[in-house]
Amino acid sequence: MTDKQPWQWPESEWRAKVEKIRAGRPLLHPDVPRRWNDGDKAAVLLSFDADHESGALRDGQTSPGLMAQGEFGTRVGVPRILEVLKRYEVHASFYIPAVCALLRPHEVPAYVESGHEVALHGWIHERNTLLTFDQELDLLGRAADVLQEQSGRRPTGIRTPSWDFSDSTLEVIRELGLLYDSSLMADDAPYELLADGNPTGVVEIPVEWIRDDAAYLEMDRYSGLRPYLSPRQLLQIWKDEFDAAYSANSVFDLTLHPHIIGHRSRLVILEELIDYMRSHAGVWFATHEELALHIAPQLTAGQDFKTS
């Protein structure tokens, strides 16, 4: 680290920063049409970050008003989402901060009972880039213990809170022996993570703000964040994302939040989107873990993945 301005950095410095964590081998070869399971053409990964009150808690903002805005997620959003997923017979991945799991000990079991994946989303939706390696590892290790205790098996994947993947995160992931991460954005399709140029045996299932309800719909009275697009506009964007993924025999993943998408005027677009995607032949609705296991054989590096 130097005191220089970025435009004064020597090549060694900017190169090291850029190349620290990079995208490696594509785990779905981009040029070759492929089959998923039994002839499926494309994969759809629905995921829900069950943040509820934790985004406000993480900032130390704990007024009853803000707590209630998050409570909507667990009280109303989650049951509605579970009903929709059941009706359409699709499985999804739920990423939940440990604090939220502890606050309502029935929530994680309900996900598991319905056949959904439960995976890591930090301790209290902490911002990793503000923590040391030890702090990040401690919080995530304890979170894994909580989810294992409540779900009956150890989580195999992580989505970092706010997708705030720090300089320590990959090392923490390897220390915990996780199969996959789903926080980075270097591709639309999964790839193997590289550390300083070397394959790591960790699957990355990339995300994008484009396919995230919070980027468009989050409302924060005092920071000035507002809903900038209407749900109907999001539906069009997500259909366009799916259409191109489907044509490319690739992956379409979506990140949603129970306290955001769970409202009536928004759930209607989720239903319409699932309906639209299901009307296409050969779409595999998979959990992130199912996809990661499916493509893991293509990894270059030996995995440290610890099965529970």
Residues 200-239 that bind a second copy (CB under 8 A): 206, 208-210, 215-216, 219, 221, 223-233, 236-238
- Size of the residue set binding a second copy (CB under 8 A): 88
Please list every residue from 79 through 138 that binds a second copy, using CB under 8 A. 99, 102-103, 123-124, 126, 129, 131, 135
Element of type H or E holding 256: strand 251-256
Nearer to a second copy, 72 or 133 (CB): 72
- Min dist. Cβ of residue 175 to a second copy (A): 16
- Min dist. Cβ of residue 14 to a second copy (A): 6
d(C-alpha 154, C-alpha 109), whole Å: 13
First to last CA, the chain: 39
- Hey, how many other C-beta atoms are within 10 angstroms of the C-beta on 11? 7
- Hey, how many other C-beta atoms are within 10 angstroms of the C-beta on 164? 16
- Min dist. Cβ of residue 109 to a second copy (A): 19
Nearer to a second copy, 186 or 281 (CB): 186
Nearer to a second copy, 31 or 38 (CB): 31
DSSP state of 301: S
Nearer to a second copy, 154 or 263 (CB): 263
- 131: CB partners within 8 A, 6+ apart: 139, 166, 168
- Min dist. Cβ of residue 124 to a second copy (A): 5
d(C-alpha 261, C-alpha 291), whole Å: 24
Nearer to a second copy, 15 or 87 (CB): 15
Three-state SS at 90 = coil
Nearer to a second copy, 153 or 237 (CB): 237
- Min dist. Cβ of residue 294 to a second copy (A): 21
Please list every residue from 239 through 278 that binds a second copy, using CB under 8 A. 240-241, 243-245, 263-268
Please list every residue from 20 through 49 that binds a second copy, using CB under 8 A. 20-23
Contact in structure between 170 and 21 (CB atoms under 8 Å): yes
Which of 45, 46, 57, 270 contacts a second copy by CB under 8 A? 57
- Min dist. Cβ of residue 307 to a second copy (A): 26
- Please, what's the b/e burial string for 130-151 (b: 16 or more CB within 10 A of its CB; e: otherwise)? ebeeeebbebbeebbebbeebb
Nearer to a second copy, 160 or 287 (CB): 160
- Min dist. Cβ of residue 38 to a second copy (A): 25
d(C-alpha 239, C-alpha 74), whole Å: 27
- Hey, how many other C-beta atoms are within 10 angstroms of the C-beta on 305? 18
- Min dist. Cβ of residue 213 to a second copy (A): 12
Please list every residue from 58 through 77 that binds a second copy, using CB under 8 A. 58-60, 62-65, 67-69, 71-72, 75-76
- 56: CB partners within 8 A, 6+ apart: 62, 66, 67, 69, 70
Nearer to a second copy, 91 or 276 (CB): 276
Please list every residue from 152 through 191 that binds a second copy, using CB under 8 A. 160, 162-167, 169-170, 183-188
Contact in structure between 46 and 90 (CB atoms under 8 Å): yes
Angle between helices 264-278 and 78-87 in degrees, nearest 10: 20
Contact in structure between 19 and 197 (CB atoms under 8 Å): yes
Nearer to a second copy, 91 or 110 (CB): 110
